A and B are shown apart, each in its own frame.
Chain A
Amino acid sequence: MKQLSLEKLNDLFALIGQTEALYLPVDDAAGQAAYRRWQPGYTLSKALNTVRSAKDFFFPQTENLVDFKMQGKSIEVIDPRTEQENFVLFGVRACDARSFSILDKVFLADPVDTYYQSRREHGTIVTLACTRPEETCFCTVFGIDPAEPAGDVSCWIEENTLFMKANTPKGDALLTLAAPLLSEGGDDAVAAQQAATRSVLARLPLAKLSLDGMGGESMLKLFDSDKWAELSQACIGCGTCTFVCPTCQCYDIKDFNTGDGVRRFRCWDSCMYSDFTRMAHGNPRLTQRERFRQRFMHKLVYFPANNHGEYGCVGCGRCLSKCPVSMNIVKVAKALEGEVK
């Protein structure tokens, strides 16, 4: 375990920022946390989490895939990518850190998505342990320990000290870079903080959320449940839940007419939208009930059915906080619980 006085936190950021792009949560004009590229004067947000998740760094909301330039009868195919720079993502919470492994299962499976892969390879993830989880948190349901977050480097902030531990070769490299500022020690302080955090975790209202019976075995039973009509009745069909979700991974690919060619880009899509997976005959999901069902079936049934039981949710609580009508995955899971018993 390495440690650093918080008074020197800016020196650490400056040191990392000199060699690599460093991103960290800072408070925005509305007082909420957002990832920003570090620059002198920026301070780490004290918020529990960012509004937008850390998936943005690997799977951005919009990205250009390929350009086609037409000249007469020839078409030039241009890869718009420039070399990916190394970057450090500081202050990622345990839930978001787990979301990367869920996204990996989608984007790094054959055929590998090289756009995503390149960012994953060039990114170093520095996680930060939670000390004040909120009532909307339920990451522990998915076996995540927010007091011992994964990542290339794990950090804890206790009183006036930052404690750091490398978990991977990338993490070792980062701590080697930071070595001039770091000293040894802190195991006891970290263990004490973890014990305190875990006692709060045990008292979280959603700590005992049951997902028994979800997954592939109950697929048709859940798909045909008459609960969906009631669950989706207040849904306004916006994309808030999907866009703040760290694991939502659906995208649309579209062509933009540049005048002398085509720019093919992809952008986040939302199963809540009326044109999601729209084909020549229309949207296969005719009403909000089917669109709403898709989102939760994907996370609680289809994803685990295809991924050895792993759910497509990390319990970050963003959809609980942000849904305009206060509908969310916890209410859905609880309502469906009776269906599979």
Chain B
Amino acid sequence: MQEMMIAKARELLKSGAVQRVLGWKAGEFAYDVEPAVFESAQELEKSFVYNDFCGSNLSKYLIAQSRKEGKTLVFLKPCDTYSFSQLLAEHRIVRENVYAIGIPCQGKTDGETLKGKGFTGILSAQCEGDTFTVHTLYGDKTAARADVLPERCLNCKSKKHMIYDELLGEDGEVLDSHRFDMVEKLEKMTPDERFAFWRGELSRCIRCNACRNVCPACTCEKCVFDNDASGIAQKAAADSFEENMFHIIRAFHVAGRCTDCGECSRVCPQNIPLHLLNRKFIKDINELYGAYQAGEDPDAKSPLTDYTMNDAEPGIVYHRGGNQ
């Protein structure tokens, strides 16, 4: 696939159809692939990669890239196309300046996930078929792909591309995932247990803002938390609940727009399962307003910004177990 992508990118650069290519660049190790812009065939040959570590979602970079002169070619995995589509619906990307090529994905892992599975001192890693072979300072190890994929890929919601100008490889299907299982588990907890769970997780937050900055739904030009004039911009937490509140507010702000791409949890240095907050909102929206997937249809109206006579009334919280 990588060779096909490079060939296609070279062809489009050469013909002048696009002026730059947004893709992934090889790093120092097998896994530290970084998002990058390529402007020549030489640059592509030198470091363009598409492998099992290209997890980062390139859609958000298009906000800036699509405002440059000329066209940007972008490679999008199925789940990235949901973000791209949602950003288009929000008028954040200049569509005519983007040439989007859909590419297949079998799930992406990363260095942190491999390390979490006990692979330390990683010198190289290859995947043949469904088996990862990792060469480490302390010997070679193998693992099945499914054993080294992060949660978001194990519960992949779709192998189908929502939007593209061209497709490389076969398109897949929307999958019947188990992504709401953990949310259901949390819903079954007592309020005290659930509160304790989230306090435990969110107490590790170091407020680095990686979740917010990577999030394709967080595209405010100036975040309220960075704005001194807002009165709530604090680099320091006023009390032990402030970081918790930050994540709750952020989840509210992206509700109905979050496509569940899982970048927030991927980048969190403290491994906080932030995606569960967003999934709770997605699940609630599905239950209260009917099935809705952000990024699926750019022309669909988001339930939270639309009004129908059948909308749930605020009193629904009591029917769902809320305190009177």
Contacts and interface: CB of A to CB of B under 8 A. Distances in A.
Interface in A99-127: none
B238 to A, nearest CB: 7
Nearest to A257: B231
Interface in A204-246: 204-206, 233-234, 236-240, 242-244
A279 interface: no
B267 A321 contact: no
Contacts of A31: 116, 271
A273 interface: yes
A32 B270 contact: yes
B271 A204 contact: no
Interface stretch (A88-96, A165-173, A263-271): A263-271
Given A51-B269, A132-B138, A252-B235, A326 B34 contact: yes
A322 interface: yes
Interface centre among B121, B122, B212 (most CB of A within 10 A): B121
B240 to A, nearest CB: 11
Interface in B115-152: 115-116, 120-123, 137-138
Interface string A317-333: 00011101111101100
A331 B27 contact: yes
| Band of interface residues on B | 35 or more
A22 B270 CA distance: 23
Nearest to B206: A243
A66 to B, nearest CB: 15
B288 to A, nearest CB: 31
B34 to A, nearest CB: 4
A85 B249 CA distance: 37
Nearest to B35: A234
| Band of interface residues on A | 35 or more
Given A233-B37, A238-B213, A321 B201 contact: no
Nearest to B112: A321
Instruction: Tell me whether chain B's interface is mostly helix, strand or loop, or mixed.
Output: loop
B208 A240 contact: yes
Interface string B17-48: 00000000001110111111100000000000
A67 to B, nearest CB: 14
A134 B33 contact: no
Given A240-B210, A275-B233, 6 more contacts: A61-B236, A62-B237, A266-B236, A321-B111, A324-B56, A326-B31
Per CB-CB distance, the 5 closest pairs between chain A and chain B, nearest first, are: A267-B236, A324-B267, A30-B271, A326-B32, A238-B210
Interface of B: 27-29, 31-37, 56, 61, 111-112, 115-116, 120-123, 137-138, 200-201, 204, 206-210, 212-214, 222, 226, 228, 233-238, 266-267, 269-272
Interface of A: 28-32, 34, 48, 51-52, 61-62, 132-136, 200, 203-206, 233-234, 236-240, 242-244, 252, 254, 256, 265-270, 273-275, 320-322, 324-328, 330-331, 334
17 contacts: A30-B201, A30-B204, A132-B121, A132-B137, A205-B123, A233-B36, A234-B36, A238-B208, A238-B209, A238-B210, A239-B208, A243-B207, A266-B236, A267-B236, A273-B226, A324-B266, A328-B32
